[in-house]
Amino acid sequence: MDMRIALFPGDGIGPEIIDAAKRVLDRVAAIYGHSFVYENFLIGGASIDAVGAAISDETLKNAKKCDSILLGAVGGPKWDDPNATVRPEQGLLRLRKEMGVFANLRPVKTYPRLYAKSPIKDELLRGVDILVIRELTGGIYFGKKRQGVDDDGVEWATDELSYSETEISRILEFAFRSAQDRRGLVTSVDKANVLNSSRLWRKTAAAVAERYPDVRLEHMLVDTASMRLISNPCDIDVLVTENMFGDILTDEASVLAGSMGMLASASVGTGSLGIYEPIHGSAPDIAGKGIANPIGTILSAALMLRCAFGLTGEAEKIEAAVEETIAAGELPLDLGGSAGTRALTDQILNRI
């Protein structure tokens, strides 16, 4: 049976890292007898240049017909005006909304060979295995935005942070189900000492926890969580939080792995159609040079095989090949090595 994958290379290094992931998927298909069918679509700056929109209605219509989505990165200096009416990131936000995804999963794992690449002490990095779950549909990103000038001529602006009990409950349910398959601990991050939305978050988390007696719940303020991620990362199993906090904390967590280029992500909802992408940006300064780190995208493809298609064994094979490649010292430039995008992908392919 054909598995249809929508490819959104995007901008900057996006096309290069998507090509690397596609090569890995093709190797897996050849070994295991699968059939992956790819369809390429525009998003971000590339779409703005082509059709004047960060993502077109036609693209969304056709992407929904696929079984899953693999995305590179969007943005770049060419489209970097924050006051522009059309911006690259609007394509990603609309894609998430149209696909009905509400949970962004970001696994954070450390590799012994890369301990020296992190500013964190080696002893704190051993055995780190965290799943960060970020809520995607609510919060300050999607709240009402207003700005103006007061009677004294002073400019002002507001961004509303809004959450409903329904939005909070479904992301917490996802976190507790995930923890059941891991170490059985959910760390719910909020700012309940200041924010009304966080007080509702904490109340809802406690209510959801009652339905999962086999999982332990701990509440943690976001400032404490930002410290704990660095001082005691091994104590964290599943960390779940709202949109803005999740955006910041996952970037912070990338220093544990040594580079943002190492981290994969999956944006999923109630259905099987998800969006899989590395957490890093489009890195326009190195685009076209063949030196981009493809590991985050390759691991995102592995996440896709596991979550979208139920191909757990195949996903584990890719993850093991990545780990073996790193252990052998085959490293990209951002991790102090000399392997270019294609050469590093070749090493991973050889180990699948």
Q: Which residues pair with 269 in a beta bridge?
A: 101
Count CB atoms within 10 A of the CB of residue 18: 26
Residue 145, classed as helix, strand or coil, is strand
Residue 150 main-chain phi, psi, to 5 deg: -80, 180
Q: Residue 232 is encoded by which pair of tokens? A: 């005691």
Burial class (CB in 10 A: 0-12, 13-18, 19+), 144: exposed
Q: Report the C-alpha gap between 301 and 306 in whole angstroms.
A: 9
Q: Report the C-alpha gap between 115 and 266 in whole angstroms.
A: 25
Q: Report the C-alpha gap between 213 and 216 in whole angstroms.
A: 7
E strand or H helix that includes residue 276: strand 275-278
Q: Residue 73 is encoded by which pair of tokens? A: 């990165």
Query: Does residue 176 contact residue 214 with C-beta atoms inside 8 Å?
Result: no
Query: Where do the DSSP E strands lie in 101-178?
Result: 101-109, 129-135, 145-149, 155-159
Q: Which residues are tagged catalytic?
A: 141, 191, 223, 247, 251
